[in-house]
Amino acid sequence: MNQGTTMTILFLHGWTSVPGGVKPSYLKDHGHTVINPKLPDEDFQEAVRIAQAEFDRHQPQVVVGSSRGGAVAMNINSGNAKLVLLCPAWKKWGTARTVQPGTAILHSRADDVIPFADSVELAQNSEARLIEVGTDHRLAEPEPLAAMLTECEQA
């Protein structure tokens, strides 16, 4: 897809985060339809079930998963949708250990929550692209936000 095309994006937030944060709002502010369900913190399987139901209902072109939401994204059947994972917490949650080729992983080397090495390993195991960006775990500054948007729009 190219710029100027409205996309449907399923945004899966991180642990103890809430829908409507900086990152999904940024995508919405750039003209995209953002599905941003509330995922329970305590029950990972329920979070996966909710995410799968939203995916099946809306058939988004892109699934963005932030931290624990990245692990949720890896554990749903996302068909041909592009995955954009932000500091994915795949070693902490879920059983998926690889992602489909073409997945973009955005991670800061300075992340103090999820080790950067986890994303290096995931990228190497999966033919995914690792994009080093940002200064912390949140990836909420202008540069990582723009990188996230670019990856979504290249789906």
Domains of the chain are 8-153 (3.40.50.1820)
Question: What phi and psi, each to the nearest 5 degrees, are found at residue 86?
Answer: -110, 110
Q: How confident is the model at residue 1 (pLDDT cuts 50, 70, 90)?
A: very low
Confidence (pTM): 0.96
Distance separating alpha carbons of residues 140 and 47, to the nearest angstrom: 23
**Measured torsion, CA atoms of residues 57, 17, 72, 133, in degrees rounded to the nearest 10:** 110
Q: How confident is the model at residue 18 (pLDDT cuts 50, 70, 90)?
A: confident
